[in-house]
Chains A and B, each alone.
Chain A
């Protein structure tokens, strides 16, 4: 039922209604006017006809009465023979009398004309006309009776002749019939008949209705009052009639004329129907023409627009929605079409843009991951069917985060754009360059010849990237690590190819960055191992697999145990003992280092404070702090809480920092270190001499001590160079008033060397490996003894 109808159907239905209502109305008005006129004209004519019939009937009756009176006068004054002769003569002269009877005072037939022997002497005293005549003076008109003579209904005129009897005349109803049949040349068939006072038909065009003495007293026009002439409309025989009735004087007879109304209307039916027909036809023709015009100017263009709209829905954008029709016929539709075209253009533009956005990286305009994957799928299909090879380069900028932190994100973005341009340039037009996100890029080496030497391309990229970049006022140095995977050797799906290239890239990072690696299966194994390790690491803390161990630090002068370094040990239930070198970087990457760092700090503080209570009050402890921890803005609060909870005096806690914290572009570092200093905590520069050994940082931050890296200590006795460096470091530190701790002491020669330099403290396996808390306490107790 919700079906929508087409516009032209709705519109034309309304139009039909609007046009037909007036047509109907006008037809009704015209029909009623014509009907009223027809009835009036007809009734006028009918009335005239009726009155003239009445007049004729009256004259007839008057004539007949005169004849009878004349006979009565003669009968009164003549003998019976003369009367009989008179009857005979008169009957022949006035043939509307079928018979005359001369009855004596007893009602017996004395004479009759035409003469019939058998009736003479009969007793007619009970005949109605005889009795009527006896009771009246003058001529009476009887009801109709079946005549004994003729066997047909007849009306009797009768007159009493005092003392002589009654003269009666049998009136021929056929004369009345003739009178009733009189008609003007009325176009309309009207039925005129004469009845007696109660509706018994005396004269009627249909003779049998007279003969059968039909009574039509039920006709509405014959209902009371019967004495008055009348014209009326009435219902009879199941349809309307127009009737006229008038009363014949001295008889009670009624002349009735009536006609069926539909006969009255019949002559007018043709013209009226013609009018209705013609106006309907004209209207229909007009509407047909209009409909065609409508179809042409409205429906068709609208349909075309609708078709165009569905085209758009299915993804086609027609240039001209109206086809070759050109401009539509009227203003509204023209503007609708214009808007439609405009809308089509905008939708098309937006869709194109959307498509582009979906598949491109907004910053660099390179293909994004989705497009790369699509492209890869296409490539794989093509390569498969043609037996070709191709390669995927996964490029990750080295330490780009540092750059971002150092120069801000907008600069970072400019760099990325610049790099994108570099990559496109390097890759050449036949290969696809995309950005996978962040500082990760990928190059699909589609050219089969190049694909075989993907390493060459990688090298070129590395070379181009390491060129200094001039971004705004900064000169930026960058490098990247690149992983390469090849189809079909290293994978046959887009995901696996990218993932494997990623793995290779990671390996390149591990290899020291600024290099490239082909993917190999063992990388995969390593990566899996790394993944396993990460998973276990996450569970390690809650399963208490970590343990803090303490490596004692001794005074060079006194050989007394003065301090210790708290170190983390991981005894995994599943992996066994895991070296910090394996899991610390992981913890750093995953952020777990924050939790671990906090945990070790608090554990160490508590332990040392407990030892102070147990009689080693001056014992100090140093804890390693990773750069990531320092960045955490809750770090200083965490240190303060650890101190407050344990009650360890701040000066007994040394935080060991590596110098690379200064190269990460962490601007707040000064503020954090200053806050720690103000708290009273000691700061040590750890692993000094291993990396850049930037001397400037020694002055930049007021460190409380310097720890010489283990790798330096290893060779001080064998390498003159290393010995010279250490010597320099110790001297500079002492000049700056900072005590020096030498790490990695493994034999007497090293001890002697450091003693010679005046190095303040020593730490290493020679003295003790890192000890569990219990063993560490035992060692302390042993030293006391």
Chain B
């Protein structure tokens, strides 16, 4: 038997065995090195026993290294809004480390394969495809709605499973598919927010600033808010769009809005953009009430917003100072690891990895039956109370209305989730 043939055979056996056992490939280079070392022995006219021993040792070694379960984490990790993705990744990584420290899934480690989609849908699809080709069947990341919407068709066609920690576009609701998420559609937040600003702040005229780069979320959020706000008797006086990628000057936009004399500015944008807009608003000495979505709910909002974001109202399904001990432990771990406060997206990403682990535990780390396993999880202990997951893989949880006070977030109101009759 020639050396090349033997190598090919060993590689094939290893791959087949790996696939059967649900393990992924061993580092092929390492194996080639090893094989090159033993070939003089394997090829020669040697004692059959020695040959057998060597080959079986090789195979054993390749199978005994229990290949990890790889989970793709594809998010926007560079650029101005990278903090959101980085927070999500950090949270996910924290969960992965925690699970691996406990011994992994049935002896197999989890591996978080992190990729940057560079805020580009095309890049996201390319990376997703690449990961799927490498045998990854679980994709998380896809934190924002545009990411989930861009990634879903490919996931659908390739059979990969998408678990989004924080996508809230209602477009993906009520579909029996292989898309799962940890928060409800944004409509769950927008109604309470509209009610609050209408009733508590007395807002009647709203001007909305929308980041079109995440239209999947921002527009539906804005629509959801408006539907409720208008139904209550409110009025939309301005709707202004911008593209965050273009690094726009916000001052002209704000001036445009101020002309309509709104009593509420709804900023459907990322934390940094929301902060910068708020700063400009205050620089203009415009003392209008401001509200924002959960997208803005993270540390950079305050860091970059300073006093300008004080008293801003934010809707969210998560609250960083949730008194749940699990959450406290998570926060401590996160701060110790990253020297930062965790944002809600970190917590949700952390939760999503645990949800995935729960399902993988049921399938022994394999793809087969993972959909069923995920669907069978209808209740899930999150960091902050119980998360209910419906038949379509959409999570439902309490909604919080927060505000920024003294450089920190505070809960204004908690709207518990009530299952629809």
Contacts and interface: CB of A to CB of B under 8 A. Distances in A.
Contact of A273 (B37, B116, B276): B37
Contacts of B338: 198, 200, 215, 217
B90 A125 contact: no
Contacts, number: 118
Contacts of B250: 118
A148 B279 CA distance: 13
A273 B36 contact: yes
B86 A212 contact: yes
A606 B364 CA distance: 117
Given A148-B272, A215-B338, A118 B40 contact: no
A323 B89 CA distance: 85
Contact of B82 (A122, A212, A273): A212
Interface stretch (A276-284, A371-379, A516-524, A655-663): A276-284
Interface in A125-159: 125-128, 143, 145-146, 148, 151-153
B325 interface: no
B340 interface: yes
B155 interface: no
A196 B340 CA distance: 13
A123 B306 contact: yes
Contacts of B305: 123, 126
Given A124-B306, A125-B307, A213 B82 contact: yes
A126 B306 contact: yes
B116 A212 contact: yes
Given A151-B79, A239-B27, A262-B33, A280 B97 contact: no
Interface in B66-120: 77-83, 85-86, 89-90, 93, 97, 114, 116
A271 interface: no
A211 interface: yes
A126 B302 contact: yes
A269 interface: yes
Given A125-B306, A218-B97, A211 B47 contact: no
Identify the interface centre among A126, A213, A217: most chain B CB within 10 Å of its CB: A126
B64 interface: no
Given A123-B282, A126-B302, A212-B116, A269 B37 contact: yes
A212 B114 contact: yes
A594 B174 CA distance: 130
Query: What's the interface size class on B, roughly?
Result: 35 or more
Contacts of A211: 77-78, 82, 116
Nearest to A152: B78
A121 B283 contact: yes
Contacts of B77: 208, 211-213
A576 interface: no
A214 B114 contact: yes
B119 to A, nearest CB: 10
Contacts of A127: 303-304, 306
Interface string A59-72: 00000000000000
B32 to A, nearest CB: 11
- Main secondary structure, interface of B, reads helix
A218 B279 CA distance: 37
A349 to B, nearest CB: 48
A197 B337 CA distance: 10
Contacts of A121: 279, 283
B27 A238 contact: yes
A16 interface: yes
A129 to B, nearest CB: 10
A151 B90 contact: no
A16 B45 CA distance: 11
Contacts of B85: 212
Interface in B264-282: 272, 276, 279-280, 282
Given A128-B303, A200-B338, A212-B78, A276 B40 contact: yes
B41 interface: yes
Contacts of B93: 215
Given A198-B338, A212-B116, A13 B47 contact: yes
A198 B337 contact: yes
A215 B306 contact: no
Interface string A670-705: 000000000000000000000000000000000000
B407 interface: yes
B228 interface: no
A117 to B, nearest CB: 9
A412 interface: no
A262 B30 contact: yes
A212 B89 contact: yes
Nearest to B272: A148
Contacts of A124: 304, 306
A483 interface: no
Contacts of B44: 280, 284
B43 to A, nearest CB: 10
Most buried by B among A125, A152, A199: A125
A52 to B, nearest CB: 28
A434 interface: no
Nearest to A210: B78
Contacts of B97: 218
B251 interface: yes
A280 B41 CA distance: 8
Contact of A143 (B45, B65, B83, B339): B339
A434 to B, nearest CB: 65
Contacts of A126: 302-307, 407
B314 interface: no
Interface in B301-359: 302-308, 336-340
A282 to B, nearest CB: 12
A37 B1 CA distance: 36
A371 B307 CA distance: 137
A498 B95 CA distance: 113
A214 B92 CA distance: 13
A239 B30 contact: yes
Contacts of B336: 198
9 nearest interchain CB pairs?
A: A123-B306, A151-B80, A212-B77, A211-B78, A122-B279, A126-B306, A213-B86, A151-B79, A125-B306
8 contacts: A118-B250, A118-B280, A143-B339, A143-B340, A146-B272, A151-B81, A151-B82, A212-B78
